[in-house]
Amino acid sequence: MANQKIIMVRRARAAPVLLLLAAGYAGITQSYWWFLSIPFIAVGWVCAAPNLNLANGMLAYLSMVGGFILLHFHRPLGAAIALGTMAAFYLCAIEMRVTAKPYIPETDNTEDKPNKASQRPVNATVRHREKTREINPLTDTGKCVKLCVEVDNGDKSST
């Protein structure tokens, strides 16, 4: 069996928004039937997968077939359904494929890093000489003072 790599695939964002705006514009300027394509754009977006498989896209494929059948009886209605579903399904799949990234799990190597002060939790509280103040990890990383850090879960560690 070949080596498998894991990829992170996020939902498409740009394609459905642009298609929604285009459907709204076409609905205002051309025909009110284009407003009917908005729910089918959502169907194409939800069913999109980067590999265009039939299992994820069955509802979108059925909507496209239904739109093509309706084209023979009522052209504006069938065009809105078929084109809205097709455009959303394929453009979202392309966007998901383009923006997919390989998954590299993070390893915890805190023992190897020399500067542990930069790894403080953001919401930690420092107690030093009976004073309490909030830590700003962006500006307080270079301090070389032994401090007691209390984390939200109640653990105490020395940094």
Question: What is the 3-state secondary structure of 66-133?
Answer: HHHHHHCCCHHHHHHHHHHHHHHHHHHHHHHHHHCEECCCCCCCCCCCCCHHHHCCCCCEEEECCEEE
Of 21-35, 47-61, 76-90, which range is least confident? 47-61
Q: What is the domain extent for residue 65?
A: 7-102
Q: 20 with 34: CB under 8 angstroms?
A: no
Is 107 contained in some domain? no
Confidence band (pLDDT; 50, 70, 90) for 1?
low
68 located within any domain? yes
Whether 78 and 146 share a structural domain: no
Instruction: For tokens 């459907």, name the residue.
Output: 23
What was the pLDDT predicted at 101?
Answer: 86
pTM exceeding the 0.75 threshold for the entire prediction: no
What pLDDT score was predicted for residue 15?
A: 94
Residue 76 has pLDDT above 60, yes or no: yes
**Residue showing tokens 């390989």:** 102
In the structure, what pLDDT confidence band is assigned to residue 105 with cuts at 50, 70 and 90? Answer: confident
Tally the domains of the chain: 2
Q: Is residue 108 part of a domain?
A: no
- Last residue of a domain, which of 69, 102, 135? 102
Q: How, if at all, do strands 156-158 and 148-150 pair? A: antiparallel
Measured between alpha carbons, how far is 91 from 122 in angstroms, rounded to an integer? 39
Same domain, yes or no: 31 and 69: yes
pLDDT at position 125 is 53
DSSP 68: H
User: Domain check: are 92 and 154 in the same one?
Assistant: no
What is the arithmetic mean of pLDDT over 90-113? 79
Q: How many Cα neighbours within 13 Å face the side chain of 126?
A: 19
The pLDDT assigned to 87 comes to 96
Does residue 44 form part of some domain?
yes
Task: Give me 134's structure tokens.
Answer: 């909030």
pLDDT given at position 115: 54
